Amino acid sequence: MRRRPVAPRVLNGLLVAVIGTCFVVQIAVILAGGVDANSGQATETVATGERFRRMFSYFTIQSNVLLLASSATLALRPDRDGPVWRVLRLDAMLGIVITGLVFALVLSPDVELSGLGLWLTIGFHYAAPWIALAGWMMFGPRPRITATTVVRALEWPVAWVVYTFVQGEITGWYPYPFLDVDVVGYPAALRSVGVVLALGVLLALLLAYLDRRLPARPGGSDQGRVPRGQEVRP
């Protein structure tokens, strides 16, 4: 029986611990009406059910949920594979890297946090994205990305965009300022969405390219090799 590598299990276990702790603390803070780490705003004036709906409407939170799920499977089995799992893993990587980039470049100047809120945003927006990317670069697993995987993985970001605008029309609340059509208008909001989706496509193609070029992982295994003719060619 082939031994499973220890290093990827440890790194993915670390991600599970970081993200899991952040979720537990954030849920406790929201229940208490404290500050939401995504917006920097207090939630005490919002009904409890609405607090949680808003929390799980953030792209950041959904990305961290996907990363938590995929990392937990890899902590148990570093050579994990399967068509559904491949989509989950690519969605987790796309979502969390976009989360890190957009927060650092666009959102962070407008979010003022301290105490638990600051630690939570470090976990969700800084630690999780870059630990996950470093882990993927070092340990994969790969190869895992086919053309079908890329297409299926893009369904979730598109669905999130549709949901965001629909619920915004109904409730008047938008998770991010650059998507708030009541403030910036639909043309500006749609341009922002277009930029983020284009970033997602480019990132998916880059990950697919690296998936083929970097050494097979875990343990140098060729398990999960992308079948000939199904490669993604950026």
pLDDT digits (tens, 9 = 90+) for 184-231: 999 999 999 999 999 999 999 999 999 999 998 774 344 444 444 444
Judge whether residue 72 has pLDDT over 90: yes
Beta bridge partners of 44: none
Question: Measured between alpha carbons, how far is 223 from 66 in angstroms, rounded to an integer?
Answer: 23
Amino acid at 43: T
User: What is the model's pLDDT at position 3?
Assistant: 62
pTM: 0.89
pLDDT digits (tens, 9 = 90+) for 86-125: 999 999 999 999 999 999 998 888 777 778 888 999 999 9
Average pLDDT (75-79) is 93
Residue % of the chain over a pLDDT of 90: 74
Torsions phi, psi for 112 (to 5 deg): -105, 120
Average pLDDT (166-179) is 94
Average pLDDT (10-37) is 92
